Amino acid sequence: MSKLIPMALVALLLPGSAASAAAPAAPPPKAQPPATPAQRFPAYAIDAWIDPSSGSVTGTEVVEFPNDTGQPLLNFPFHLYLNAYRPQSSYSQELRQEGWAPAHEALSGGSEISAISAEGYGDLLPTLRYVSPDDSNPDDRTVAEVTLPRPLLSGDTVRFHIAFRDRLPRGGEAEAARQTVLFGAHWQPALGVFWNGQWVCHQHLRSGDEFSGFATYDVDLTLPPAYTVGSSGMETGARLRAGGAKTHRFHGAQLGDFAWAAAPDFLVRDEMFPNRFGGVRLRVLARQGYATGQARLLSILRRAMQKFDEWYGPYPYGQITLVDPGPGILDGAESFPMLLAVHAPRWMPDWDHAEPEAEVVHQIGLQYWRDLAAPNGAEEPWLTEGLASYSESRVMASLFGESTSMLNAATIHSGDGEMLRVASIGMPGYGSFTRRLWRLAGGSESSMGGKTAAALSMLSSLIGEGEMRHALHEYFARYEFGHPNGANFLGTVEEISGRRDLEAYFAQVISGAGVLDYAVESLTSIPKDPARGAAGGYHTSVLLRRVGDFSFPVLVEVGFADGGRRWATWDGAGQWRRFSWDLAAKAVYARTDPLHAVTLDANFFNNSYVLEPHPLARLKLANYWVAAQQLLAQWIALLV
Amino acid sequence: MKRDAPDLLVHGFRLALRNWPCLAWAYAVNLGFALSTAIPFSAGLAGYLDHSLAARQIAGNLDAAYLGELAILMARDHITGPALENAYWLTLIETLVFVFLTASILSVYMNGHPPKPSLLLRGGAEFFWRLVRAGGLALLIAGPALALLLAARAWLLSRMAGVSESRNLWAAAVSAAAVLMAALALRLWFDLVEGCAVRNALSGERAVRRALLPALVLLRQRFLSAYGSFLAAGACGAAGLAACIYLWKNAVDANQVAAAFVIAQAGFFLLLAARLWQRGIGTVLVLAVYPLPAPERRAAETRAGGPSTLAQPPAPAVTREPTLQELVQKLHREPWASPETSKAARTDLFPEKTPAEIDQAGIDSADGDPAAGNRGAKEPQISLLAEHEMKPPLPRSTDAAAAPADSPAQPEGPEERPGSGLAATVSVNNAGPEPQDLQPAADLSPAGEDSSLRPSESQKG
C-alpha cells in the first residue's frame, strides 16, 4: 500500500471545500485598495545636538504637513514617546502590573517641547496639552496636541517650528555601556497618522505595537567626532563644527520613523545585496570587542534578505543597517525603518539559531510587515508581530531545516515554527488578537505571534505553501506604504488561494479565543469471532473527541498490523465521533491529523493512541529526572 | 613537605576505600531517594506518553518543542506541581539523612570501627546534632563571606559589561572561578570543622564551637597540601562524571535508556566516591594534627571531666621528657625479671593494679604519702623518688639506660615509637584492625618540630 496519503483527503479538511470544488470557477474580485492613502508625505527637517555624557538631545525641528485628508484640520497630535520612560507613564504602570521592576535609569527618559509655532498661525505653545486617548492617564504625556487658531484647509500645507529637549533612557545594565552606546528611537516630536478620516495617535503602551505615518526626513545629528552613527535613512555627508563636534547629515524618504544609534567604537562591515531596485547596502555595525559576531550577523542578514526578496518582494530602501550594541543594552532585539538592533552573543554555539539568526529574521519580518506595510499595529498586532513570526518560521525552516531551524545539536533539536506553536499553547483562551490591550488580557507577545504563526502555518498546510507565499507577496505588493488592515489581508489570501470561505476560519483564529484540540479517546481492536480468534478478523473502533471549542474538519488515520492504513474524516460537528472497521488485521494505532497540518491543535500528545504501550519515552524522561534529582541532592549535600 | 599532599590523598583514599560500605550506603540513599521522587513523576508521564505516537519525538533524538509542550500540559494538568513538591520534601529529608550519614561516616573514619549498619546508626545518632550545630555556626561565618564575594563579583561584572565581550567573558569566568575556589576552601574548612567536632566529641568535649578555630588553624597551617588534595579528589570525581557524560553523549543512542541509566549512575557513584575521599582526607588531616587520646586516657579524662580538647592541644603533655617518677611508674607496670620468675614476686610485692589505678594511686604515693599507695610494700626506689622529683628530666639516653634490659618492647599504654620515649604517638586508626597503616600522627620529637606527617614518611622510608 502506498505510504502517501491521498491528497484528495486534504481538500476535505477545509470547511466548505466540497462546495468550493463544485462551484464554477469564477474570477475572484481584486482585494480592496487601502483606505485613503496619503498622496503627499509630511517632511521633517531636524537639527539635533547630542551630548553623550548626559544622554541629552537638544534639537529643532521643522514639520511640514500637507493636508491631503480632504477635510479641514484644527488639532494636530504629536507623539512624545520618550515620556513613556517616566515613572508616571502608562508604560511604566504596565511594566509594574506585569511584575517588572525597571531600574531607575530605565525610567529616566523624557521629552519636552520648549517652543512650537506654525508659519502663519503664530505661537502654539499656549495651546499645547497632553492627551491620553487610550487610557485617560493624565500623567502619561506620550501624546501632546496643539490647536491652530483657525483650521488648516484641505490642500493647504502647514509648517510647524518646534524646539525640543530629550533625555534618552539609559536602559542598559552596565554603567560603562550606558555611557558609551546611544540609541535614539521615537526621539523627536512626530505627528500622528491621519487614517480613515481621523487622527490616530496612540499612546506609547506595552499593550500594542506602533502605528506611524510615512514621512521624509532630513536630519542633522551633531556628536563628538569619534562617534560612528548607524541610522534610518542614508548618510549624505558630514562636516566638522566649531568646537570640534561633527555633524552627520541623513536623508530618508517614506520612513515611518527615524532612529539612530551611535558609539565611538563601532566597526563597520558592509556588502551589497542586489535586488530588483538595484541593490541594498547591508551594513553591520559592531563595537570593538564584539566583532566576533559581526560576520555571523552579516551572513544571516544577507541570507534572510535574499529569502524575503525572493518570497515577499524587494526591499525598497537602498540600505539596511544592523547594529550590535553588545550585551546588556537591548531589551531583546529592536527594529526601526532601515535599522535593526540585535546582539550576537559570542558564546552562542553554531547549532543554536535562536540568537542571533531567528532574531534577525524576525526583525526583517517586522521591516516588511510593520515598517513597510504599516498596518495599525496598535489595534491589529497580529498583522505586524504575527506575520513577522510566521515569515520567521518559514524563512528559518528554509535556511536551517524544518525541525532543526531553532536547535540542531547532537542530542536535541527543534524547529522555529514548532517553538512558536508551543509559545502559543502556553496561554490558551487568550487568543483574541483584535482587542486592544491584548497583552493586559493575559496574553504575551510570543503567545500572540506564535498563535498567528501557527494559524498561518495551518492555513499554509491546507492551501499550499506556494499559495500562501504568493498571497503574502501580493499583500506586500499591494499595501506597501499603505496602512492595510486585517480585512485587506484576508481578502488577499482569499483571492490568491481561490477560496471564498476563509472568513469563518479567520474569525475563529483571529477574533475568537477558542481552543482547538482533538483527541483519540479510545482505540479497540478485538476479534470479531472470539471462537475463531485472529483467524476471524478484527473489529476495530476509534472514538474521537473534540476537546476544545474550536471546530475544524479533521482527518483520522488508523494503522494495522499488516501495514495497511485506513482514513476517515470528521467535520468536527458535535463533541465526538466513532469510526469502525472490520478487517483481517488488528489495529496498531489511530491518530488524527497525520499530515501535521493542524498546527493550532493545543495538544499533540492526545492526537494518537497506540494499543501496545511503549514506555521508552517515559523511562527516558524518568531517567533524566532521577539524574537531576541525584545531582541536586549531591550538590545540596555538598553544602551541608 | 612535598609529600604532604600525596600522603593525604593516599591515606584519605585508603580510608575511604577501607570503609567502602559507607560509600555504598551513601549511594543507596542517593539513588533511593531519587527513585522515590521519580515514581510519581513517571506515573504522571504515563498518561501522556505510553500510548501516544508523539512520544517518539522524545524517545528518539529529543525534540525540544515537544518537550516544552509536554511541560506545559503537565503543568496545566497539575502533575508537575505535586511531583516537584514531592521532590522538594524528599530532597529535604534526604539532606537530613545525608547529614546523619556524614556523622556516621566521620564516626567510623575517626574510630576505626568497622562500618557495620549498627555502628553507623550509633555514630549518626551520636553526632548528628553536633554536625547540625557545626553547620549552623559555619554557615554564620561562611555565608557572609561568600555573599561578600558574590557581591564583589557582581559589582566587577557590572563595571566590565559593555566594555568588551571577550574581556567581559574572561572577567566572568575568572571571577566565577575565584568565587568557586573560595567556596571550596570554605567547604574544606567546614569539613575540618565537622571532623574536629566529631574528634572533640570522641574526647568528651561537647562544645561544637571549639572546633571552629582549631579547624581554621589547621587549614591555615596545612593549606596548600590540604586544599590541593581536596581539589584533586573533587576533580577526580568531576572528571569521572564528565567522562560518563561524554560516553553517554557519544556512545549511547538516544533510545538506549538502560545504558544511559547505567552510565549516569556510574557518574554519580564516582562523584559520591570523590566526596567521601575528600571526607577521608579531612579526617586524616584532623587526626594527624589532633590525634585522639588513647582509649584508657580518654575514658579517664571523660570521668574526670577534663577532656583533651583541641583548644588545649596535647603537645605540652607529650613533648616534654619523662621524669624519673614516670619512669619508675613504668617500671612498676613491667615485669622485674623474666616472666616466669617475676609473676610470683610481683604478686607479693606489688598487687595487680589497673592502669588507671596506677595513674592515680602510684603518682599520689610518690607525692609523699606512701601509705596511701602501696602501704607496706618494700620499694626502696620510692624513697629516691622524692629526691629526684624536682630535678630536670633525664636525657633520652638515660631513658634507655634506666629501662631494664629485659623489659618488653611493647609496653602497655600508647604505642611507643623508637626514639620518642614516652611521647605517645597515637595512631589515626588506633582502635582499628590496621592502626599502623594510617600513621600521620603528630610528630612529637624532642625538638618539638611541627611535622605532623613525618612519622608516616619515616614509616614509608
Angle B364-B369-B374 from CA coordinates, rounded to 5°: 75
Which of A605, A609, A639 to probe by mutation at the B interface, max B CB count within 10 Å? Answer: A605
Residue type, A399: L
- Backbone phi and psi for residue A47, each to the nearest 5 degrees, phi listed first: -125, 110
Which residues does A99 contact at the CB level (< 8 Å), separation at least 6?
A: none
> Across chain A, what does the average pLDDT equal?
86
CB-CB neighbours of A127 under 10 Å = 15
Secondary-structure class of domain A40-263 per CATH: mainly beta
A453 interface with B at CB cutoff 8 Å: no
| Chain A residue nearest residue B99, CA to CA | A640
- When comparing pLDDT for A137 and B424, which is higher? A137
B55 interface with A at CB cutoff 8 Å: yes
Secondary-structure class of domain A516-617 per CATH: mainly beta
Reported as a single tens digit per residue, the pLDDT across A228-258 is 999 999 999 999 988 889 999 999 999 999 9
| Interface A-B: count of C-beta contacts within 8 A | 215
Whether the pLDDT of residue A519 is over 50: the answer is yes
Give the pLDDT means over successive 10-residue stretches in chain B (461 positions). Answer: 65 91 93 93 93 93 94 90 90 92 89 84 86 84 88 82 67 89 91 88 79 88 90 94 92 90 95 93 88 61 48 43 54 49 38 40 37 38 35 37 38 37 34 34 34 35 26
Whether the pLDDT of residue A309 is over 80: the answer is yes
Q: How many CA atoms lie within 13 A of B439 on its CB side?
A: 19
pLDDT of the residue at A355: 85
- Backbone phi and psi for residue A280, each to the nearest 5 degrees, phi listed first: -125, 130
B46 interface with A at CB cutoff 8 Å: yes
Are residues A223 and A263 in contact, defined by beta-carbon separation less than 8 angstroms?
A: no
Which of A175, A517, A520, A620 to probe by mutation at the B interface, max B CB count within 10 Å? Answer: A620
Residues 315-374 of A with CB under 8 A from B: 326-329, 345-347
Adjacency order of strands within the sheet including A518-527: A518-527, A538-546, A576-583
Question: Which residues of chain B are within 8 Å of residue A558 when distances are taken between CB atoms?
Answer: none
Question: Which residues of chain A are within 8 Å of residue B166 when distances are taken between CB atoms?
Answer: 289, 292, 346
Are residues A521 and A534 in contact, defined by beta-carbon separation less than 8 angstroms?
A: no
pLDDT of the residue at A240: 92
Are residues A178 and A172 in contact, defined by beta-carbon separation less than 8 angstroms?
A: yes
pLDDT of the residue at B159: 74
Residues 147-186 of B with CB under 8 A from A: 158-169
Place of cell 474521537: A544
pLDDT of the residue at A507: 83
* Bond before A356 cis per omega within 30 degrees: yes
Mean pLDDT computed over A73-92: 92
Q: A57 has which bridge partners? A: A50, A166
Which of A521, A543, A565, A640 to probe by mutation at the B interface, max B CB count within 10 Å? Answer: A640
Residues 196-255 of B with CB under 8 A from A: 249, 254-255
Task: Mark yes or no for CB contact A606/B52 under 8 Å.
Answer: yes
Mean pLDDT computed over A377-398: 91
Angle B277-B282-B286 from CA coordinates, rounded to 5°: 150
Nine-digit cell string for A307? 529569502
Reported as a single tens digit per residue, the pLDDT across A160-175 is 999 999 998 875 544 4
**Strands A412-414 and A198-200, sheet pairing:** unpaired
pLDDT of the residue at A109: 85
Mean pLDDT computed over A123-149: 93
Angle A194-A197-A202 from CA coordinates, rounded to 5°: 45
B51 interface with A at CB cutoff 8 Å: yes
Question: Which residues of chain A are within 8 Å of residue B163 when distances are taken between CB atoms?
Answer: 174, 176-177, 289
Using 50, 70 and 90 to split pLDDT, how confident is the model at A526? very high
Task: Mark yes or no for CB contact A346/B53 under 8 Å.
Answer: no
DSSP SS3 for A472: helix
pLDDT of the residue at A26: 36
Task: Mark yes or no for CB contact B158/A410 under 8 Å.
Answer: no
Q: For residue A605, give the nearest of B31, B73, B257 by CB distance.
A: B73
β strands within A29-96, DSSP E: 43-51, 56-66, 73-79
Task: Mark yes or no for CB contact B48/A290 under 8 Å.
Answer: no
Task: Mark yes or no for CB contact A605/B275 under 8 Å.
Answer: no
Adjacency order of strands within the sheet including A608-610: A565-570, A554-560, A587-592, A608-610
CA dist., res. A595 & res. A550, Å (int): 19
C-alpha pair distances (Å), A630 with each of A627, B183, B255, B269: 5, 21, 21, 10
Nine-digit cell string for B194? 565537622
pLDDT of the residue at A511: 76
Reported as a single tens digit per residue, the pLDDT across A321-344 is 999 988 777 777 889 999 999 988
Angle between helix B4-18 and B257-289 (nearest 10): 120
Whether the pLDDT of residue A180 is over 70: the answer is yes
| Chain A residue nearest residue B190, CA to CA | A640
- Backbone phi and psi for residue A326, each to the nearest 5 degrees, phi listed first: 95, 175
Residue type, A169: P
Are residues A593 and A601 in contact, defined by beta-carbon separation less than 8 angstroms?
A: yes
Q: What is the DSSP string of B443-457?
A: P--TT----TTHHHH
CA dist., res. A590 & res. A567, Å (int): 10
Whether the pLDDT of residue A10 is over 90: the answer is no
CB-CB neighbours of A483 under 10 Å = 23
Reported as a single tens digit per residue, the pLDDT across A463-510 is 899 999 999 999 999 999 999 999 999 999 999 998 888 888 888 887
pLDDT of the residue at A557: 96
pLDDT of the residue at B47: 92
Q: Give the rounded distance of the alpha carbon of A17 from its chain centre.
A: 30
- Longest CA–CA span in chain B (Å) reads 100
Q: How many CA atoms lie within 13 A of B434 on its CB side?
A: 7
Nine-digit cell string for A431? 487568543
Whether the pLDDT of residue A98 is over 50: the answer is yes
Q: What is the DSSP string of B26-41?
A: HHHHHHHHHHHHHHHH
Question: Which residues of chain A are within 8 Å of residue B73 when distances are taken between CB atoms?
Answer: 603, 605
pLDDT of the residue at B72: 92
Question: Which residues of chain B are within 8 Å of residue A619 when distances are taken between CB atoms?
Answer: 42, 257
Are residues A210 and A193 in contact, defined by beta-carbon separation less than 8 angstroms?
A: no
Q: A323 has which bridge partners? A: A285, A341
Mean pLDDT computed over A379-393: 91
Among the residue ranges A440-444, A553-557, B295-299, B414-418, the one predicted with the least confidence is B414-418
Q: What is the DSSP string of A178-194?
A: HTT-EEESS-S-EE-EE
- Backbone phi and psi for residue A113, each to the nearest 5 degrees, phi listed first: -95, 120
pLDDT of the residue at B157: 81
Question: Which residues of chain A are within 8 Å of residue B272 when distances are taken between CB atoms?
Answer: 634
Q: Which of B439, B408, B432 is CA-nearest to residue B339?
A: B408
Task: Mark yes or no for CB contact A605/B52 under 8 Å.
Answer: yes
Which residues does B254 contact at the CB level (< 8 Å), separation at least 6?
A: A411, A620, B59, B60, B61, B62
Q: For residue A623, give the nearest of B48, B87, B260 by CB distance.
A: B260
Q: Which of A453, A455, A492, A486 is CA-nearest to residue A472?
A: A492
Residues 492-511 of A with CB under 8 A from B: none
Task: Mark yes or no for CB contact A177/B163 under 8 Å.
Answer: yes
Reported as a single tens digit per residue, the pLDDT across A114-132 is 999 999 999 999 999 999 9
Mean pLDDT computed over A521-550: 91
Angle A226-A229-A232 from CA coordinates, rounded to 5°: 170
Question: Which residues of chain B are within 8 Å of residue A286 when distances are taken between CB atoms?
Answer: none
Task: Mark yes or no for CB contact A608/B53 under 8 Å.
Answer: yes
Q: A334 has which bridge partners? A: A341
Mean pLDDT computed over A25-33: 37
Question: Which residues of chain A are within 8 Å of residue B70 when distances are taken between CB atoms?
Answer: 605
Q: For residue A411, give the nearest of B61, B99, B264 by CB distance.
A: B61
pLDDT of the residue at A117: 97
Task: Mark yes or no for CB contact A633/B59 under 8 Å.
Answer: no
A196: left (phi over 0), alpha (psi -120 to 50) or beta: left
pLDDT of the residue at A100: 73
CA dist., res. A340 & res. A324, Å (int): 9
Residues 581-620 of A with CB under 8 A from B: 589, 591, 603-611, 613-620
pLDDT of the residue at B293: 72
A626 interface with B at CB cutoff 8 Å: yes
Closest approach of chain A CAs to the CA of B118, in angstroms? 23
Closest approach of chain A CAs to the CA of B290, in angstroms? 23
Are residues A104 and A172 in contact, defined by beta-carbon separation less than 8 angstroms?
A: no
pLDDT of the residue at B403: 38
Nine-digit cell string for A241? 563644527
Q: Where are the domains of chain A?
A: 40-263, 388-511, 516-617
Reported as a single tens digit per residue, the pLDDT across A598-630 is 998 999 999 999 999 999 999 999 999 999 999
Percent of chain A whose pLDDT exceeds 90: 59
CA dist., res. A288 & res. A264, Å (int): 9
